[in-house]
Chain A
């Protein structure tokens, strides 16, 4: 088990100018959540639903008010685990400009391992491998401010991998990027998951970035409101809208077509699936006059009942 969260509660404490407690705000109110090692997890939720607070518990930037969080078996409450946890669970934030510190790409990536006291020779091996893993090796000698947003964000990810974490938490890593940059970052994260077996936890407001996740958690009011595979989650279009979210456009289109009477599956996640469903459906339609095969009985009956399909 990579991440184990039990009955987590987190209160932010508001203080007045004198430092007295002026009130508390409960950002997480009872979350139980498990992530297996090697999984690709997406966490969705509207602004203020508690996703980022949750993420900060995963590398001990915040500590539980109640309940507990274990990262690879280490309890975040235990102070002696702190550095081990932060090395094992690396974090990438929204704005790449706040995360890059060095003047040269390779030095930035080497900063983490150097801080950990890794021998110089090994630092360079790690820097090279990390940059390679995110497809940025050719830019190693460049100044970070000469890079595009997507490239900078990939350097941030390389900086995290250089510490050889078991888990990477990406908190809205694509919010500030152009379409190309978004694609680059998501592909890099996916590749780390597939080829290196690193557990990836992706927090995002872009629904289509979650379709390849093994598991999606949807947060609302500090709780896990929905949990399931992308197909299970995005099948619930109305529920997602209620939670101020959305579904991928292709899923929404399929949902719309279904509402207008076409017999296609509830949860379509890719355009290829939609094409296949529509072509299949069309064939079923064309064979209405032909003897019915078992496969299309259900669909033709439904369409005839709707009446306007010609």
Chain B
């Protein structure tokens, strides 16, 4: 079923001189089992948007429906929403605090009122999903490496068994291999656990490589909402928004400009190489 966002707006400091429109009539459907990339420059409204999705912020106007129910309706169970829609903030490792990794991951399920045994079971599953080495379960979270800490923090949210997982810049500050590992792990979670993932990212290259759908925000509005190939055809508009296209798009565009008749739709190195090779074969038949 998923989430239906129906014409929401959000104003900060409403009615004061400082009033800012963070969301301006946004509508969207977030179905089950989809990998979505959410992009937009700093201040575009994306953080506000994701916080409305799990009820941390209440839209000033408009409605959000979760599995058909209005999340601001009187009978609606917000606690259920917050465990179903998990939010991993930027630098989530700053929120690790327990004595060891497993206890930290158990914090969420315990808070849901689950038994110790159930909390532990979920924590173990979550740690496995993030590929945490077993010998680290009893380590202090502060002794882990940067990438491991981040995975432990993601496991903490995963242990609540969310149906929709929102990650805000999960790869910020990681080296290229760390980035690939985290994104590969997230793609795997989506596949194995049938989750919907919303990846908030500043890296167009990452987004292009992994997601099924891209939502572009700017000035509080949802400006584009489509498959990556189509969104990245709007290079000029994206740049005007302070964004960019993936590096590969720029490369293919230049090749085309210089007279190589290739399609500019490739989203990664593999597709680009295939396109160039196919073009060459055509040329020499």
CB atoms of A253 and B251 under 8 A apart? yes
Min Cβ gap A297→B in Å is 19
A250 and B176 within 8 A (CB): no
- Chain B residues 227-260 with CB under 8 Å of chain A are 242-244, 246-248, 250-251, 254-255, 258-260
Interface residues of A in 162-212 (CB under 8 A from B): 172, 175-182, 205, 207-208
B79 contacts chain A at the CB level, 8 A cutoff: no
B285 within 8 A of A: yes
Contacts of B42 in A (CB 8 A): 148-149, 177-178, 181
Binary B-proximity of A244-256 (CB < 8 A = 1, otherwise 0): 1110111011001
Give min CB distance, B120 to chain A, whole Å.
27
- Complex CA gap A257/B242 in Å reads 31
Given contacts A47-B175, A207-B176, contact A275 B145 (CB under 8 A): no
- Contact yes or no, A180 B273, CB < 8 A: no
Q: How large is the interface on A (under 10, 10 to 19, 20 to 34, 35 or more residues)?
A: 35 or more
Q: Is the CB of B251 within 8 A of A271?
A: yes
Residues A253 and B272 in contact, CB atoms below 8 Å apart: yes
Q: How far is the CB of B62 from chain A (nearest CB, A)?
A: 26
How far is it, in angstroms, between the C-alpha of A309 and the C-alpha of B280 when the chains are bound? Answer: 8
Map CB proximity to B onto A267-299 as digits: 1 under 8 Å, 0 otherwise.
000011011101100100100000000000000
Q: Is B57 an interface residue (CB 8 A)?
A: no
| B177 within 8 A of partner (CB) | yes
Q: Does A310 contact B (CB under 8 A)?
A: yes
Q: Which residues of B contact A179 (CB under 8 A)?
A: 202, 204, 242-244
Contact A205 B176 (CB under 8 A): yes
Task: Pick the contact of A47: B145, B204, B251 (CB < 8 A).
Answer: B145
Which of A176, A246, A279 lies in contact with B258, CB distance below 8 A? A279
| Min CB gap B39→A, angstroms | 8
Shortest Cβ distance from B272 into A: residue: A253
Q: How far is the CA of A151 from the CA of B147 in the complex (A)?
A: 28
* Docked pose: A262 CA to B204 CA in angstroms: 28
Further contacts, 20 of them, CB under 8 A, given A47-B147, A148-B43: A46-B176, A47-B146, A47-B174, A175-B172, A176-B172, A179-B202, A180-B41, A180-B243, A180-B244, A181-B242, A205-B174, A249-B269, A260-B273, A260-B277, A275-B260, A285-B280, A309-B281, A310-B280, A310-B281, A310-B285
9 A-B residue pairings within 8 Å (CB atoms): A48-B146, A176-B172, A178-B42, A178-B202, A181-B242, A205-B179, A207-B176, A250-B247, A257-B277
The 8 closest A-B pairs by CB, nearest first: A310-B284, A244-B177, A246-B176, A180-B242, A179-B244, A46-B175, A249-B247, A256-B273
